[in-house]
Amino acid sequence: MIPKELLYSQSHEWARIEGGEAVVGITHFAQEQLGDLTFVELPAVGASVEAGKEMGSVESVKAASELYAPVSGKVVAVNEELAASPELVNQDPYGKGWMIRIELSSQPQGLLDADAYAQVAVGH
């Protein structure tokens, strides 16, 4: 359940690198821990995000949790569907539940591959 082609942060965000951009979301493990999402707060298009810094939040029936940017750059797209349908993150965290697209300002650093992330997720 951990796609091999993605990179992962210790805080359970994923990034799919596509040329000079990264598509970002939260992992299956993260959405499972949170439970049914009721609200997703994301940065606006044009906002700058910095790897490891807060970029938004999610709320669920269980808890609220901050989202941390796995990469640095400028937000070039936001998944508008999540405003009305936050449950897409629960249903398809690596597909329709993507959150933002970031134009990279530098190469991703310090992210985990699928095998290393599996160790983090199992360790929780």
Q: Which domain holds residue 65?
A: 5-117
SS3 98: coil
Residue 124 pLDDT more than 80?
no
User: What does 12-69 look like in DSSP terms, one character per residue?
Assistant: SEEEEEETTEEEEEE-HHHHHHH-SEEEEE-PPTT-EE-TTSEEEEEEESS-EEEEE-
User: How many other C-beta atoms are found inside a 10 Å radius of the C-beta of residue 71?
Assistant: 26
The total number of structural domains in the chain stands at 1
Residue 124 lies in a domain: no
Residue 31 lies in a domain: yes
pTM of the model: 0.95
Residue 14 belongs to domain with CATH number: 2.40.50.100
pLDDT per position as a tens digit, 63-108 = 899 999 999 999 999 999 999 999 999 999 999 999 999 999 999 9
pLDDT per position as a tens digit, 17-53 = 999 999 999 999 999 999 999 999 999 999 999 999 9
